[in-house]
Every structure is written in structure tokens, then in C-alpha cells.
Structure 1
Amino acid sequence: MAGTEHELRERHGDLTRALADQYARVAALGAGEAVPDEAFETLVERAETLLAFEQQQLPGRLAEPQRLRSQKVIFWSWRAQSGVAAVLIAMVFFFGHTAWWLVLTVPHFLATVAGWSLKASPKDHRARRAAAIGLHLLGALVVLVVLGVLSAWFIAAVLVGWAVVGVLSADGQEAAK
């Protein structure tokens, strides 16, 4: 499987030249002559091969380096936020905050652990990477609310943030299956 962009361009050029060569052979037979079935079938086969390469293989292979970077961001973001949530749960008890903050921190922890299974497919890796980055903003907001820097009214912003992260994370889940 070709990996570099240069190899992909070479493969595309080879397929294009093969199609053009076969077309030239068919066209050289003349307008009045009957085209042999084998020559026409070869022309159609080469055209289908080129189309399949352009539509199915090429986009995925070109997107692979970006998808791999997105996969790393997604992998570590969800795990890091799980760690932050676990520390927040411990801090609630350590600093003697009211147990009501567990209503915010425990679901945050469970949701981030559930996000560990997310994968980046070629079609949805950008949305998932955006969700992972948004998750860090959401985590910072949760930390600020739990530590009392922001008012408890910002829990509404946390809920909206979770809705946004959830939608961005789930967009491609059905397509990936």
C-alpha cells in the first residue's frame, strides 16, 4: 500500500497513462471499423480502476497522516480529562467542599472514560479532534466551577459544553460502524 504523496501521484499517473494508451488504441481502429470486444472491455476496466482509485483509495490515503495526528489528540485528550476529573473528585473530599460538586464531577469523569473508545476515521477525524480540544475547554470550566473561581451558575455552560462535545464526538460514530 503506497503511503507517500509522491507514490500516490505516481500510481495515479500510471493508471491515467494506461487508460489513455488503451483509448488511443481503440481510437486508432477508426470510426468505421468495429471495435473488438476485448479492446473495449479493457478500456472500461482501466477506466473503472482509475475511478475506484480516485474515489475510494486516494482520499483515505491522503488523509492518513492527519487522521493519525487526530487519533493521538483524541486518545490523550479523553484520558487526560479523565485524570483531571478524578483529581477533582478527590479534591472535593480533600478540601471539604460540599458533596454536591460530585453531581458535576462524577458525570464528567464517567463521560470522559466513555470517550476513551473514540476512534478517528478518515471522514470524521476533524470533528472528533475539535471535540477533543473542546473537551479541554470544558474541563477547564469544570475545574473553575468546582474550585469556586466561577459561580455555580456556570454549570449551565458546562451542560451546553457537554452537548456540543457529545454532538461533535458522535457525528461519525454511525458512519464508522
Structure 2
Amino acid sequence: MHPAGLVQAGMVGFAPSFVKIQRARPAVAILVSLAFGKQGEGSERGGPVGEAQTGHEVHQQHEKLVRALADQHALTVVQGEDESIPDEAFDGLMERAQTLMAYEQQMPALLAEPERVRSEKVIFWSWRIQSAVAIVLILAFRLLGYSDGWYALVVPHLVATFFGWPLKATVKNHLARRTASIALHAMGVLLVLIVLGVLSPWFIVALVIGWAFVGTVAADGQEAGK
């Protein structure tokens, strides 16, 4: 079930006693309502992400926080039967509500983290591998006495791959940059086949178009990451 559904379902059990807390301490009503009303906020911002967790682990932690809030709410109701809520119970309820709100703001980033980590590895190695491919081709030109004209094709490829080395994968841009990084390998294969004479030099046009695609997608990822 979606996190919002879990919390909203839990509110059904809170409703009668929640009215008492509203009467006794209006601030409780405001802040706890915020805890239930801000479901899913932060899906665009994301939050600080630590070690990657599976989606199941993230939802388990969310359910744990919801239960903790429900338990504290029940305790607060019991202690406030005389219409006077003890400060400790009130503070505990607020603390759990704020913890739940903060976690829900981080959930989109936490759920995306495993895929982001995979994308980060693809991005990191793809650009460096293609730099190595270009360097090997240049060394082969020198050793085998290839025409210097091929440098005009391979050197730009090498320089362009260096620009991809600093690329980072964020929650927002990792899919775009992973796509660009995978497409980069196709450009490398195309480059090698052209240089070895397997493909006609006319395929240089396809190489240029491919690089335009890679550059555009990587740039879109740059904008998405802001």
C-alpha cells in the first residue's frame, strides 16, 4: 500500500480520541495533522540518502514509524483522559509526528537509491572505458603507421569522453545520464569499425549524430539535476 494509504487508514482508529486532543491542545491537532497531510511531499526534492535500502526495507521503516506514532497517540489519549495532556506525552507525540514527516520527505530518494547507485557505476565506468578505447586506437595508429587523418576522428572522441568523467548521478538525472553512457558504447563500437575499415567513412555522419544525441541527453540530465 502507498505510504499515504497506510497513514490515512491509521487515522480511522485515531479519530475519536484525536478530537479530545484537539480540544485539549490545539497545537497537537495542527502538527499531527501536518504529519498526515504532507504525504509524498519531497518526491521532487529527495532527501539525504545513506546506504542503499531495498524498497521493502524502506516501507518497513515507514510502517514502523507509523506504528510508533499510533502508539504514542494512544498513550497520550490515556494520559489525557482528564482533558489535561502531560507535557512529556505531548512532546513525545510531536517528536514522532515530525520524525514521520521527515522520513516521508526522504522516501522518494530512498526508494530510488538502488537504481541511482547502479546508474552511478554505469556512468563512472562507461566514459573511462571509452577514453581507454580512444587511447588504444591512437597508440595503434602510431605502431601500425595508420594515416594521420584518423586522428581527426579519434582525438575529438577522446577529448569528449574526458568531459564525462566528472558526471554525477542524482535521483533526478541518473536515468538520463545512464542512457547517455550506454549510448556512448555504441559510439565507441562505431568508431572502431570505421577506423578498421569495416564500415564506410560515410558512417562518420552517424557517429556525429550519435555524439549529438549523447551530448543532448547528458545535458538534459545536467538540467534535471539542478
What's the TM-score bracket when you normalise by the shorter of the two chains? 0.7 to 0.9
Deviates more, 1:99-108 or 1:63-72: 63-72
1:38-65 CA distances to partner (integer Å, 9 max, x unpaired)? 8999878755543442233x12222222
Q: Tell me if the contact between 1:26 and 1:35 (Cα under 8 Å) persists in the aligned partners.
A: no
The equivalent residue for 1:66 is 115
**Structure 2 residue aligned with 1:126, among 175, 179, 189?**
175
1:119-154 CA distances to partner (integer Å, 9 max, x unpaired)? 211222222222111111110001111111111111
Q: Tell me if the contact between 1:18 and 1:46 (Cα under 8 Å) persists in the aligned partners.
A: yes
The equivalent residue for 2:58 is 8
Measure the CA separation in 2 of the matches of 1:103 and 1:159: 13
The amino acid that maps onto 1:164 is F
Deviates more, 1:152-161 or 1:64-73: 64-73
The amino acid that maps onto 2:151 is L
Structure 1 residue 83: Cα displacement:
0.8
Measure the CA separation in 1 of the matches of 2:197 and 2:158: 19
Structure 1 gaps of 5+ residues are: none
Q: Tell me if the contact between 1:141 and 1:158 (Cα under 8 Å) persists in the aligned partners.
A: yes
Cα RMSD for the two superposed structures: 3.1
Structure 1 residue 155: Cα displacement:
0.9
TM-score normalised by structure 1 residue count:
0.77
Residue 4 to residue 90, structure 1, CA distance change in 2 (3 Å) = closer
The equivalent residue for 1:53 is 103
Aligned length: 174
Structure 2 gaps of 5+ residues are: 1-49
Structure 1 residue 22: Cα displacement:
6.4
- Determine helix, strand or coil for the equivalent of 1:54: helix
The equivalent residue for 2:196 is 147
Q: Tell me if the contact between 1:120 and 1:128 (Cα under 8 Å) persists in the aligned partners.
A: yes
Q: Tell me if the contact between 2:53 and 2:113 (Cα under 8 Å) persists in the aligned partners.
A: no
Residue 134 to residue 73, structure 1, CA distance change in 2 (3 Å) = same
- Aligned identity (percent) is 55
Measure the CA separation in 1 of the matches of 2:91 and 2:212: 53
The amino acid that maps onto 1:153 is W
- Determine helix, strand or coil for the equivalent of 2:164: helix
The equivalent residue for 2:160 is 111
Q: Which has the larger radius of gyration?
A: 2
Q: Tell me if the contact between 2:170 and 2:225 (Cα under 8 Å) persists in the aligned partners.
A: yes
Residue 109 to residue 40, structure 1, CA distance change in 2 (3 Å) = same
Q: Does 1:17 align with 2:17?
A: no
